[in-house]
Structure 1
Amino acid sequence: MKEIQLLNGIWKCKSDPEELGALNNYFGADFNDDDWYDIKVPGHWQDEVEELKDYSGTVWYRTKFKVPNDFLKDENERVRLLFKGIFYKSEYYLNGEFLGTHEGYFDTHGYEVGDMLVKGDDKANVLAVKVICENEPDMNNKKQIIGTFGHWDASDPNFNAGGIWNDVLLYKSGNAYIERLKLITKLKNENMATEKISIFLDSAIDAELKGKISFTPHNFQGNSYSQDLVIKVEKGKNKHTFELPMKNPALWWTWDLGKPNLYDVKLELIMNNQITDELKTRTGIKEFKNNRKQYGLIKGEKWNIEFNKKRFFPKGTNIPPWQHLATGNKEKFSKRLQMLIDANMNIIRVHAHIDRDELHQACDELGILIWQDLPLQWFYAKSKFDQAKLDAKRAVQKIQHHPSQAIWCAHNEPIKFPNAKEILKMVFFILLSSWFTNLIRANLLGPLMSSWTGIGLKIVKEIIFIIIWLVIYNTFGILLDLEIPSLIAYNSNRSNLDPQLHDIMREEEENQNMVIPYSGICKGGVWPMFSTYAYTDIHAYPGWYASYFKGYRGLKKFLKPSLRNHARFVTEYGSQALPSKGVMFRILEPAERWPLNWKKLAKKHRCQPMFCKWWFPPKMAKNLEEYIELSQDYQAEQVHMQTEIFRRLKHNPMEGLITFLGYDCFPAVDWSFIDIDLKPKKAYYTVQKAFEPLYAFLDKWPKKKYKPGDIFESDVFLTNDYLEDKEAVSVQWKLSRENKNIIRTGDFKTKIKADMVKKIGKIEFKIPEENLYEDGEHHEIYLSISTLNPSGKRKVINNTYRIDINKYKWPH
């Protein structure tokens, strides 16, 4: 019974900046669209139509299609018109009749149209779609829930993804139509699982359905599981839930812990001895949980992440949106994901967007977990809260069955950004609060306190009026989301919306995966210390946005007991670096390459010149090639130290680390480790080493500079990410000049338990005092620590530190 007719191809389109399309009957069946632009569907209007390459706003689409007479044979057949992805708002008309509206870019949606279709080879149906996608100027009052497809500091600022970016099709079924299938794994142990299955149906009649669901190995040999079904349905929406026991299932694992075993799932339903509908998908048997323990208001929560009942330490990176959604495919995603796997990453964070389904498919097959954000980035208007809640449910329903899905996050950095408008609002309400306070002083409390003449009473009186002012101002602040207290205490997004989104996703997920309410803000709620969600993850940027004089070494503060408890899970850290010479030559004209055209790099390519000039000033280089090298040296060194500090905190209390950023989505000067041409920067290889499952490193990083004769000393730590003990580990170290002439060597023999980090020894030596170091100039020697791992992909992991003598290499 199931049959599909794709409506993709060349359509017609016309922009409608004045919103006159409805008045001009653009949706009409007889409207003449011969002078409209041709446009390919799926696609984006900025990609497909030269005249619309810089346009944002409203665009109308039209197409004509024919339906054969035998497409609908009898009254027991139903046809739905489905749209698998439209960016962003849409309005639909078929043969001049209004079908409905939709908001949201990532979910499949549609309408029943069997009675509206015109059949026959000599007759055409006319489908008109109004699509709206704006460029929003205000980051603090957003009304389109598109996440990093809109405002972000690592996506193409000049591209608008508006358009019909995925398939449009007619879907024919019998009287009962399968809307979706929900799969929830309950893992008792490695040998026993139960799959809770919910079938969501839409039936045109009351009936009894028979059918079968089966789970068949896809990429391995093993047990199959199936169950015959009898389902009584009523006319309208139906839900049928049951459990399927699975003895000795093949579990889905990440690539570093096992095999990503997948099952092909087939659901077939029969009505009146005919197949009324069927659904095919793919899944894996997996469970991912965070067993939190509360340690009081100050210490917050202790996280304990378990993957298939085993303690697990995620290591990975953020990834950007595939901005030109229509051009994405599994092969492109897989190519980039394999580079991340080669860098020892087992998780990606899909940063504040939902991508094509092929991304999750690729992760399922390759064995890499996903931290999935909702498409919420920064601050949204209260009028969009209901839409955000709807999108939260849609997102879980769309993605939940993928075994790669592990962590959900409702909102990235739900904060306002200071701008002229926000500052003026804040100043106005500071003055208004002062006026109200003075009014109360003059007409109410002042006369009552006129007898308070002693110095102590006068101080108490002033404190009372300060408290009154704070109450008045913070009341305005909470009601109107003023910049302060928005940042430090309360804002409507973080304190109101995000906990609701958290609860919606957790209910829809049924606790199969981990859910957190927001990312990048350690504390939240009306008053942070009393928040249920007091600790989520952190974004750490010493050496870029912070620690301007200590540099990236400022991150060492997280080793202190007072701050250690904040580091539950880090999901952003890093710095910018220039991409390869080839990318820079495409970005800049010859005259712009040296000195660099900073304005162009900032406006069109996401570069942050102020920070680049601070951390690696152009005066340190003679030309573009040297500056590329310099920037990548800095990025590699910064991420090297930060990764080792976080690895030092493994399970105490750090439960995972995710760098920023994996790869680029356009020619950019940003935080990526892999540029748009898929050429790795130096930091890629640094992270590759630092994420090795067996890795030795210094507890105390070299100081900024040493003098000849100074003493260097540091403990050495070893981390083991394997799920088995390592009984005989060899770690060697050497001190050398220019990584060649050896000054001193040593080694450690040790063993280490599974999934832990431990101190294995100490390195101590005197900085050489040869005459060549006494000229006051900058010199370097190198300390290299090598970990031997016979069972690893790389048998020897060399971890090298630069030791600066007399002068520090970097200015800060």
Structure 2
Amino acid sequence: GYFVPYEREVTELLEAENTLLVEVECPDEERKVGKRLITGVFSHWDGIDPETNPGGIWLPVELHQSGPVRLGHVRCHTEAVSDGFAQLRFWAPLDSALPAEATLRWTISPLNFAGETQHVEQRRRLAQGQQELSGFLKLRDPRLWWTHDLGAPNLYTISLDVLLNGQLSDHHSFTFGIRRFELRNWIPHLNGVRFLAKGNNYPPGDVRIAVMTREDYDRDLLLARECHMNLLRVHAHVEHPAFYEAANAQGVLLWQDMPLQWLYEPAVLPEARRQTREMVRLLYNHPSVAIWCMHNEAVFIEDTGDESPRARWRTYASALGYNWNRSVLDTQLAQLAREEDPWRPVVRSSGELEIPGIREGTDSHAYFGWYASYGPLVLAERVMRRFPNNGRFVTEFGAQSFPNVESCLRFMHPDIRKLDAELLRKRYSFQPDILANWVDWRAAQSLGELVQMTQDYQIFINRYYIDRLRVAKYQPTGGIVPFMFHDSNPAVAWSIIDYWRVPKRSYHAMALSFSPQYVCAIFEPRRYRVGEPLPLALYAMNDAQHAVAGAQFDAWLRDAAGNELAHTQRTLNLAADCLAFEVERLRFTPRYAGRYTLTLALRGANCATVEHSYTIEVEV
């Protein structure tokens, strides 16, 4: 597997000078709907240049020397927490060259806060060969790990020394956070505190993740935090180890996908089982890792840009009917993950819609307003009303947009008349015909206009979903995770931040939509007729764990000339972590055709400042 550390005993092979010869193979998948390699998005995806081969050794090669006892990857779990103590359960795999009495010397030290360093010693009898020790550690005065919006991400360094006759045989240390995470009917709770998960899909930091550094990940995580995100979905891959350390330190939760994307051959099952076990054990200690997911979209998809009737029918059939990948592969992997880690939630496959009377479903993907296989946004309104559980935890929605002009100029011609749309389609993820269903992008007169109109549509789509899901907070929505955060290579894609980490306008719009205190308007996204009554439902909400008193709310309705048609003002008291509530319902009957603007504003002490506008198109 590409992410599993490969180890081999070389004691008997070493000489004074040695040459290490390694053969690495990462062949192209010839049959995209029957893949054999477990590489996730690196082998088959619409967000990476298909001509890029990411294969190679991507972490340092190390020679590790130990005494007679060699330690493996030690794992810890928060078993119980009280005001004064935390009980940790540990598993310590090791390989002993001989039967022996060993001392396990534990050191538990605060990593990012001031506190007491604690020591524990245990005596164990070791057999010869490979074995796994387990037991408990008791920690005094524990500091809990929180997401950045709920508290401080307190971390410890846990070190284990194995001693034989007082001599160090081997040493292992790792970062750990004391926390309890649960999904209760898809509503997340951290250390018993309920909260709304708001985040995004995180693809590979770079198509060649070897080039990524801790500083790069710290920058990305800071961008996520500044966008009011508390969760990132590691989209169908396992990321560089530095990413998980950065998420631990910055207090961002992770939904961790197994690197399985769309369909695979049945022959992959034994290797998928092995790698699932390895993934869970490899990432086990990270407090940021909250959820395991076994597969992304286990349905028939060869090319997301192919919307032919045949391709759509095959996708529908695999989504609604029997599917070996979902029913056998993913079911077995989910059971295996639960056996390895009974405490974290496990999702069988991402994007399983609930079908009442047939299956319960998992999280949802909603591409109404982008893919024709889903349909227009008006259909989304009906689906949400008819099947509300499909809004419990939504982990994909969005639309493509061009990056800012300065970034576009790095990989496309500045003259829009010479824009090579076919090259952008083949190499840079662009879906020109799908975009044309919603935006007349070919009518753009300049690159700047093209960027403007596509980012406008992306902002509209993202806010449409975020508004409705925030209004449904806890009834039933527990998580809002658009697609996607950034580009892994230069692209015209669903990202809100481009490959060079330049935020699009859609990043700033999403930061506003994810504000802890927020106001929004809900009405059908369509054109209205002159004389047609239009109800405008205005909502307010607070995701913070503190109450907000005396916030000022304003709403203005203006016509195309900017004339004020209505203005309403309220003083709001927002309870901590309150559900969305209706502040006002404006009833507007347009008398003339044109574009009307509804502007909402919220401000106050200890309250986010929010101001944004909605357009209402009226025709004769």
Normalised by the length of structure 1, the TM-score is 0.72
- The answer to whether 1:552 aligns with 2:552 is no
- The answer to whether 1:785 aligns with 2:610 is no
Give the conservation status (yes or no) of the 8 Å contact 2:319–2:352.
Answer: no
Aligned ranges for residues 401-416 of structure 1 at < 5 Å?
401-416=285-300
Letter in 2 for 1:780: R
SS in structure 2 at match of 1:586: coil
| Cα deviation 1:748-807 (Å, max 9, x = unaligned) | 2233333232324224254565xxx5xx6xx32321111225224xx4111311122338
**Bigger CA drift: 582-591 or 597-606?**
582-591
Match of 1:498 in 2: 330
Give the conservation status (yes or no) of the 8 Å contact 1:187–1:308.
Answer: no
Match of 1:130 in 2: 23
CA distance in 1, matches of 2:561, 2:125: 75
Q: 1:789 to 1:341 in 2, by over 3 A?
A: farther
Letter in 1 for 2:338: R
Give the conservation status (yes or no) of the 8 Å contact 1:556–1:645.
Answer: no
SS in structure 2 at match of 1:607: coil
CA distance in 1, matches of 2:186, 2:199: 18
Q: 1:619 to 1:706 in 2, by over 3 A?
A: farther
Among the aligned pairs, what percent are the same residue? Answer: 31
Match of 1:154 in 2: 47
Q: 1:171 to 1:731 in 2, by over 3 A?
A: same
CA distance in 2, matches of 1:739, 1:406: 50
**Bigger CA drift: 571-580 or 129-138?**
129-138
1:343 deviation in Å?
Answer: 0.8
Match of 1:353 in 2: 237
1:737 deviation in Å?
Answer: 5.0
1:190 deviation in Å?
Answer: 5.7
CA distance in 2, matches of 1:340, 1:690: 13
CA distance in 2, matches of 1:529, 1:175: 58
Match of 1:106 in 2: 3
CA distance in 2, matches of 1:586, 1:330: 25
CA distance in 2, matches of 1:689, 1:610: 30
1:684 deviation in Å?
Answer: 1.2
Match of 1:305 in 2: 188
Q: 1:329 to 1:761 in 2, by over 3 A?
A: same
CA distance in 1, matches of 2:352, 2:618: 39
1:223 deviation in Å?
Answer: 4.0
- The answer to whether 1:516 aligns with 2:409 is no
RMSD, aligned CA: 2.3
Aligned ranges for residues 595-610 of structure 1 at < 5 Å?
596-610=419-433
Match of 1:324 in 2: 208
Give the conservation status (yes or no) of the 8 Å contact 2:384–2:391.
Answer: no
CA distance in 2, matches of 1:404, 1:575: 28
| Cα deviation 1:643-664 (Å, max 9, x = unaligned) | 1111111111111010001011
CA distance in 2, matches of 1:702, 1:491: 35
CA distance in 1, matches of 2:545, 2:350: 28
1:370 deviation in Å?
Answer: 0.3
Match of 1:25 in 2: none
Match of 1:798 in 2: 611
CA distance in 2, matches of 1:625, 1:520: 35
CA distance in 1, matches of 2:470, 2:383: 12
SS in structure 1 at match of 2:142: coil
1:191 deviation in Å?
Answer: 5.1
SS in structure 1 at match of 2:468: helix
1:547 deviation in Å?
Answer: 7.7
CA distance in 1, matches of 2:165, 2:192: 44
Q: 1:655 to 1:509 in 2, by over 3 A?
A: same
1:110 deviation in Å?
Answer: 1.2
CA distance in 1, matches of 2:520, 2:610: 11
Structure of higher RCO (CA pairs closer than 8 Å, 6+ residues apart) = 2
Match of 1:342 in 2: 226
CA distance in 1, matches of 2:200, 2:377: 19
CA distance in 2, matches of 1:796, 1:226: 47
Which of 479, 483, 488 is equivalent to 2:320?
488
CA distance in 1, matches of 2:45, 2:338: 27
Letter in 1 for 2:609: V
Match of 2:435 in 1: 612
Number of matched residues? 611
Which of 501, 505, 510 is equivalent to 1:678?
501
Match of 1:82 in 2: none
**Bigger CA drift: 269-278 or 759-768?**
759-768
SS in structure 2 at match of 1:137: coil
Give the conservation status (yes or no) of the 8 Å contact 1:265–1:281.
Answer: yes
Q: 1:142 to 1:552 in 2, by over 3 A?
A: same
Q: 1:577 to 1:177 in 2, by over 3 A?
A: same
Q: 1:191 to 1:636 in 2, by over 3 A?
A: farther
1:604 deviation in Å?
Answer: 0.7
Which of 137, 146, 163 is equivalent to 1:244?
137
Give the conservation status (yes or no) of the 8 Å contact 2:548–2:605.
Answer: no
Which of 58, 72, 75 is equivalent to 1:182?
75
CA distance in 2, matches of 1:733, 1:150: 49
Match of 2:362 in 1: 536
Give the conservation status (yes or no) of the 8 Å contact 1:190–1:251.
Answer: no
Give the conservation status (yes or no) of the 8 Å contact 2:187–2:196.
Answer: no
Q: Name structure 2 gaps, 5 residues minimum.
A: 304-309
1:510 deviation in Å?
Answer: 2.7
Which of 531, 555, 564 is equivalent to 2:388?
564
Which of 93, 107, 130 is equivalent to 1:214?
107
Q: 1:234 to 1:565 in 2, by over 3 A?
A: same
Q: 1:386 to 1:547 in 2, by over 3 A?
A: closer
Give the conservation status (yes or no) of the 8 Å contact 1:713–1:765.
Answer: yes
SS in structure 2 at match of 1:165: coil
Match of 1:445 in 2: none
SS in structure 2 at match of 1:645: helix
CA distance in 2, matches of 1:530, 1:214: 51
Q: 1:192 to 1:696 in 2, by over 3 A?
A: farther
Which of 636, 639, 642 is equivalent to 2:465?
642
1:594 deviation in Å?
Answer: 2.1
Q: 1:789 to 1:281 in 2, by over 3 A?
A: farther
1:485 deviation in Å?
Answer: 5.2
Give the conservation status (yes or no) of the 8 Å contact 2:397–2:483.
Answer: yes
Which of 571, 574, 577 is equivalent to 2:401?
577
Letter in 2 for 1:646: L
1:548 deviation in Å?
Answer: 7.7
CA distance in 2, matches of 1:501, 1:173: 34
Give the conservation status (yes or no) of the 8 Å contact 1:374–1:410.
Answer: yes
SS in structure 1 at match of 2:228: coil
Aligned ranges for residues 5-24 of structure 1 at < 5 Å?
none
SS in structure 2 at match of 1:286: coil
Letter in 1 for 2:452: E
CA distance in 2, matches of 1:213, 1:631: 55
SS in structure 1 at match of 2:65: strand
Letter in 2 for 1:686: A
Letter in 1 for 2:446: N
1:340 deviation in Å?
Answer: 1.4
CA distance in 2, matches of 1:306, 1:739: 48
Give the conservation status (yes or no) of the 8 Å contact 1:148–1:353.
Answer: yes
CA distance in 2, matches of 1:702, 1:538: 21
Q: 1:703 to 1:590 in 2, by over 3 A?
A: closer
Match of 1:594 in 2: 417
| Cα deviation 1:7-41 (Å, max 9, x = unaligned) | xxxxxxxxxxxxxxxxxxxxxxxxxxxxxxxxxxx
Match of 1:368 in 2: 252
Give the conservation status (yes or no) of the 8 Å contact 1:555–1:642.
Answer: no
SS in structure 2 at match of 1:170: coil
Which of 639, 650, 658 is equivalent to 2:481?
658
Which of 143, 146, 162 is equivalent to 2:36?
143
Q: 1:693 to 1:192 in 2, by over 3 A?
A: farther
1:676 deviation in Å?
Answer: 1.5
SS in structure 1 at match of 2:88: strand
Aligned ranges for residues 723-762 of structure 1 at < 5 Å?
723-736=545-558, 742-762=564-584
Q: Which of structures 1 and 2 has the bigger CA Rg?
A: 1
